[in-house]
Structure 1
């Protein structure tokens, strides 16, 4: 949506990889790295046996490269792909120390630069189960940040940041403290701009299962040891999850959240703002209420008042004209023992991961690697992923158009085949998802134009039977290419779609 390309008609083409005997679906965790040097690379972990599968452009396996230099029981690994190489940043514990290292590998999996230490942390005699360091990168991959957050006795967060260039060379490292006041404060949506600004949100919720009643945007310039904290004017309203999106060209942060007039009330509309990090101030922050007409289009079996209560914001797409596009998906669960509750989902409940259960969190939609059985695996629970709302706002915050992709997806115990993958090809957005057809899932492609018109694309070519698609774990690897994992006869496979 940020740029418009000539519209190219025609059906999409699918290329499949052959399942490898090591990649049993229940044992294999993976990360789609991307397109590097004409190859498509996928990292795999089979019970701490690490390997890199190198596929050609037709998804034929060229080689499987063992990564023997990696330590067993890694805590996390992150990848930053470039045209002819990729960076691997990983961490592991040895005795009472957690180490964070970075290495450079080529398109064939060869080691171009041996692992070098980025930082280490003494953690004591206990075994660390979660990562100590987090890694984020800028949109153009020219900047990478490795950071860790410690908490002192006053609940304040002590940050250690390491700003690196694309070759993992240190630009700046800082130690600085962010006051947190009390346990009601938490952090989210960590991002890094192309010019090295570290940006995230600081939020306050009054109770363990309440929504947000105070919020700030926190900015750290690339070569300073201080935070700039800008408080949001919530205009007496309460917020849901706060989503951020960077506009690197204009040095702006777009933020959006559903808002409520009272704690645990109904979704009334969108709270949206724009922050200019070069000027250090907000350009706009306003309430954008949903009309009755929009709510009527959004509701499924609900009343008009709670039409958006099952929707969660998924993506923000910044437009070149200063406006933005938002997608939100209806999601809920049903269980024999527990009723669905939005607040349990957001703030911790019987369904597992809660993004708001700690002072800072990491999205359940972006784990360091994926397994079809890793997330949303709860016996006795039925998962529902329904309609997708697409809302387009102009630069002044006015709703230009809205549309809805109508779908009704559900599955018991595991949601790996539900939800969708968003593919931005410039001329339009494509929503790839499974649709129930004659008791089987049929991969479906629905496109939306910059004017808000939906087009149901022709059935994808080479859509072989026997492949169970997991679109939500896919990754766009090029301007018109996306790789989506599949399960074939209980083995992990990968399919590339060319638009």
Structure 2
């Protein structure tokens, strides 16, 4: 018997929930529709919300009844600030932001209190000089699960090379490690993923090889960098005669494992047939374990992709992984598709995944609105008409030997026109998970 007592999957449509009180904040007429915001979360007894209103940067502080306590502009942030990240601790949080001045991108940080007031002066993290047509979103911020290691890195392309510059900081934002790596790059065949960092300070990322620009992957490598080591260690993950696409990395800090998941097919640009999983221990990372688990025919018939039996799984995308105490995990996938009228741009899974050469899988907003917390109320790409469809959720339980324990299909149908801000799902853990 399997019991999931903690995970609640929240759909983005209204439902009746008994014995639950929902508190709304007051509407502010001075905050126009031209606003982006990110909910930082509960800090002490307050709820904090970062707001970007045109060129102004505001910190909204709410009490436990969602009454606005303060809504102050952060005047130390330049008008051309375009990317903001938050690393939260019980008594404070760091805000890391980027802005452009001339042809230079500045990355700075500031320590903030639970009342939304700065506890320090802005401090320097890094700078980069860019060309006139270069992508200005250079820096990426992530942290280990225990937040004792903060990783800020940039990956910049020049010709057939990528320059990776990662910096690791401790929980006081003191620099503990900084390196520089040159990676070979072919824009049609190479894909580099985003970096993740474990509780020991080791960061890793994937390097995939494709046969063509929009083909799926035939070769998979993992690049690791233990703290204080000068060079990267490369581990090849055997795929045999199979092909995969996007890889989702999950770090299991308790069991000291790296877990990689992807969907696979049996032929180049073929139909999706199952779930690929690879695992590497922190200590013996050069001996990866792998498994190819085919989706059963009984599940194929339930997916019912418009009656197309052979393509039933082609609209599935990896969403997230929930770890189990014994080393296994539950992976959630979602059936997603979109259709655009009046535009010749392709709309298969390879278009979604491989329209950007490195640093993740293209514009992840394109097919996963819940990946980032940043809300974009009127975000669109100016297509004539774009229809978004977010349908069934597939949850698959995998044991610590990478065998399938069970799968569950959660049936739903969601759709919208021109925006997908209110579609898809997220997970909320309310306590411990219990499994046999």
Quick one: distance in 2 between partners of 1:288 and 1:255?
Answer: 13
Q: Structure 1 residue 388: deviation in Å? A: 0.5
Match of 1:394 in 2: 399
| CA shift digits 1:50-93 (9 cap, x unpaired) | 10000112222111121011001113111111112110111112
Secondary structure (helix, strand or coil) at the match of 1:16 reads coil
Match of 1:133 in 2: 139
Is 1:235 the counterpart of 2:234 in the alignment?
Answer: no
Is 1:23 the counterpart of 2:31 in the alignment?
Answer: yes
- Mapping of residues 413-424 of structure 1, within 5 Å: 413-424=418-429
Secondary structure (helix, strand or coil) at the match of 2:180 reads strand
- Mapping of residues 283-298 of structure 1, within 5 Å: 283-298=288-303
Match of 2:155 in 1: 149
Quick one: distance in 2 between partners of 1:209 and 1:55?
Answer: 46
Contact 1:105 1:112 in 2 (8 A): yes
Alpha-carbon distance change, 158 to 53 in structure 1, aligned in 2, over 3 angstroms: same
Q: Structure 1 residue 379: deviation in Å? A: 3.6
Alpha-carbon distance change, 318 to 301 in structure 1, aligned in 2, over 3 angstroms: same
| CA shift digits 1:335-372 (9 cap, x unpaired) | 33457422222233xxxxxxxx1222363244583212
Match of 1:13 in 2: 21
| CA shift digits 1:293-337 (9 cap, x unpaired) | 122222342333211111111011121111111111111123334
Contact 1:377 1:414 in 2 (8 A): no
Alpha-carbon distance change, 258 to 4 in structure 1, aligned in 2, over 3 angstroms: closer
Match of 2:42 in 1: 35
| CA shift digits 1:401-459 (9 cap, x unpaired) | 1111111111111111111121122356xxxxxxxxxxxxxxxxxxxx858xxxxxxxx
Quick one: distance in 1 between partners of 2:262 and 2:308?
Answer: 21
Secondary structure (helix, strand or coil) at the match of 2:418 reads strand
Is 1:105 the counterpart of 2:104 in the alignment?
Answer: no
* RMSD, aligned CA: 2.4
Secondary structure (helix, strand or coil) at the match of 1:423 reads strand
Q: Which consecutive residues of structure 2, in runs of 5 or more, have no partner in the other structure?
A: 9-16
Alpha-carbon distance change, 274 to 377 in structure 1, aligned in 2, over 3 angstroms: farther
Alpha-carbon distance change, 107 to 396 in structure 1, aligned in 2, over 3 angstroms: same
Alpha-carbon distance change, 123 to 289 in structure 1, aligned in 2, over 3 angstroms: same
Query: Please, what TM-score do these two structures have when normalized by structure 2?
Result: 0.89
Quick one: distance in 2 between partners of 1:4 and 1:367?
Answer: 25
Match of 2:127 in 1: 120
Match of 1:440 in 2: none
Quick one: distance in 1 between partners of 2:373 and 2:35?
Answer: 13
Is 1:168 the counterpart of 2:173 in the alignment?
Answer: yes
Select the residue among 365, 370, 375 that pairs with 1:370: 375
Number of aligned positions between the proteins:
418
Q: Structure 1 residue 4: deviation in Å? A: 8.0
Contact 2:317 2:335 in 1 (8 A): yes
- Mapping of residues 372-451 of structure 1, within 5 Å: 372-374=377-379, 378-427=383-432
Instruction: Identify which range, 300-309 or 259-268, moves more after superposition.
Output: 300-309
Quick one: distance in 2 between partners of 1:58 and 1:175?
Answer: 48
Contact 1:158 1:175 in 2 (8 A): yes
Alpha-carbon distance change, 402 to 312 in structure 1, aligned in 2, over 3 angstroms: same
Quick one: distance in 1 between partners of 2:181 and 2:63?
Answer: 45
Match of 1:219 in 2: 224
Quick one: distance in 1 between partners of 2:65 and 2:126?
Answer: 39
Match of 1:46 in 2: 53
Instruction: Identify which range, 367-376 or 302-311, moves more after superposition.
Output: 367-376
Quick one: distance in 2 between partners of 1:427 and 1:139?
Answer: 17
Is 1:56 the counterpart of 2:63 in the alignment?
Answer: yes
Secondary structure (helix, strand or coil) at the match of 1:14 reads coil
Contact 1:22 1:46 in 2 (8 A): no
Q: Structure 1 residue 171: deviation in Å? A: 0.7
Secondary structure (helix, strand or coil) at the match of 2:48 reads strand
| CA shift digits 1:86-139 (9 cap, x unpaired) | 101111121232211111011111111111111112225x37653121111111
Match of 1:480 in 2: none
Alpha-carbon distance change, 274 to 210 in structure 1, aligned in 2, over 3 angstroms: same
Q: Structure 1 residue 177: deviation in Å? A: 2.2
Quick one: distance in 1 between partners of 2:126 and 2:7?
Answer: 47
Q: Which consecutive residues of structure 1, in runs of 5 or more, have no partner in the other structure?
A: 349-356, 429-448, 452-499
Quick one: distance in 2 between partners of 1:7 and 1:208?
Answer: 38
Alpha-carbon distance change, 205 to 69 in structure 1, aligned in 2, over 3 angstroms: same
- Mapping of residues 250-399 of structure 1, within 5 Å: 250-337=255-342, 340-348=347-355, 357-361=356-360, 363-364=364-365, 365=369, 366=371, 369-374=374-379, 378-399=383-404
Query: Please, what TM-score do these two structures have when normalized by structure 1?
Result: 0.79
